[in-house]
Amino acid sequence: MPPGHVGARSSLLLRRAIDGPRCSCRPVVTQPLLRASHTLVTCDRRSQAERLSQPVGYNHRATLNVGISQPWITPLRCYMSLRRLGIMCGILGPLLWLSLIGMAGAMRPEFSHITHYISELGERGSSTEFLMRYGAFAFTGLLYVCFAAALLATFRDGWYSTLAAGLIGLDGLGRIGAGVFACDPGCGGLSSNQELHHLFATLGFSSGILAAIAWGFTFHRRGWPPPLTWYSVGTGILALIFLLIMSWSRNSLNAPGLFEHLATGVLSLWLLVFAASLTRHPDQALRRS
């Protein structure tokens, strides 16, 4: 055997004696792999892209160590983003609803906000039918449903908060149904669409009133500021009074549209204040959940 080969073999044996025996076995996975949802995978990729876009000198190792020690950070960030999006729907919904009512009323000079119902802006054959049916009723109803979903995901500590959030969702579904089934011209017909429109509109108004009162009691049980509690309960009672005056057949004022506008106005303003308060104090809501 050549001398060089003997020296190489001796060096190999010496290295093996120092390093210890090597195992060529593959590592055994002791726990089954978990399949991540599409939302978490998308958020994880977004988080990786944010790390790659950091400037030179950014401490990626420190960020990686935090992510390993707290693996729930990325899903929590995604959860918070969806929650904030739902709360923004609660702000945009009432603003869009009131804005489209004013816009549609301005587009029809013969329409009176005092003597005509809001549904007459979306009556069949009118120039504002598409805008009111699919913009004001259907789309804002969808925004209300998204806001209710965000409330369900935020307040999860009792049946009362679940019921209150569900009432806002029913308000949104009532709006969607009122937009799908438009009323007859003058909202005085006897067709099936007219009956279904009246049914869904009643569902939306009733759910909105009950939601304001229910959230008032929910705020009280959660220890929120008393002015917000009384404002919520007062809004529900005031909207109910306006609707009762609107439906009163012996009312000599002949202003059903005015009281309907007042009812939907106070309810929309309450929802706007509620959603805005969650935007200003999101941590308080999460700590109490």
Per-residue pLDDT at 113 exceeds 70:
yes
pLDDT average, residue stretch 247-256: 80
**End-to-end distance of the chain based on CA atoms, in angstroms?**
79
Percent above pLDDT 70 for the chain:
69
Confidence check: pLDDT of 112 > 60: yes
Is 199's pLDDT higher than 60? yes
Residue 19: what pLDDT?
Answer: 53
Mean local confidence (pLDDT), 132-148: 96
| Overall average pLDDT of the 220-228 stretch | 86
* CA-angle at 274, arms to 271 and 280, nearest 5°: 140
64 or 262, which is more confident: 262
Q: How many CB atoms lie within 10 A of CB 85?
A: 13
pLDDT band at 68 (very low <50, low <70, confident <90, very high): very low
pLDDT for the residue 81: 79
Q: How confident is the model at residue 36 (pLDDT cuts 50, 70, 90)?
A: very low
Q: CA-CA distances (angstroms) from residue 182 to 40, 179, 199?
A: 40, 6, 11
User: What is the per-residue pLDDT for 222?
Assistant: 83
Q: What is the reported pLDDT for 260? A: 94
In this prediction, residue 46 has a pLDDT band, given cuts at 50, 70 and 90, of low
State mean pLDDT over 146-161.
Answer: 88
Q: What is the mean pLDDT of residues 258-272?
A: 96
Q: How many residues does the chain have?
A: 289
Residues 225, 227: Cα–Cα separation, whole Å: 6
Please compute the mean of the pLDDT values over residues 64-70 and round it to a whole number.
Answer: 42
Task: DSSP for 205-227, please give it.
Answer: HHHHHHHHHHHHHHHHHHT--HH
Using DSSP, state whether 55 is helix, strand or coil.
Answer: coil
Structure confidence at residue 237 (pLDDT): 97
The predicted model gives 133-148 an average pLDDT of 96
pLDDT over 70 at 88, yes or no = yes
Whether residue 230 has pLDDT greater than 80: yes
151, two tokens: 């409330």
**What would the mean pLDDT of 219-246 be, rounded to a whole number?**
92
Q: How far from 206 is each of 123, 170, 210, 240, 264, CA to CA, in Å?
A: 22, 9, 6, 8, 11
What integer is the mean pLDDT of 32-61? 47
Residue 145's nearest CA partner among 165, 122, 130, 164 is: 165
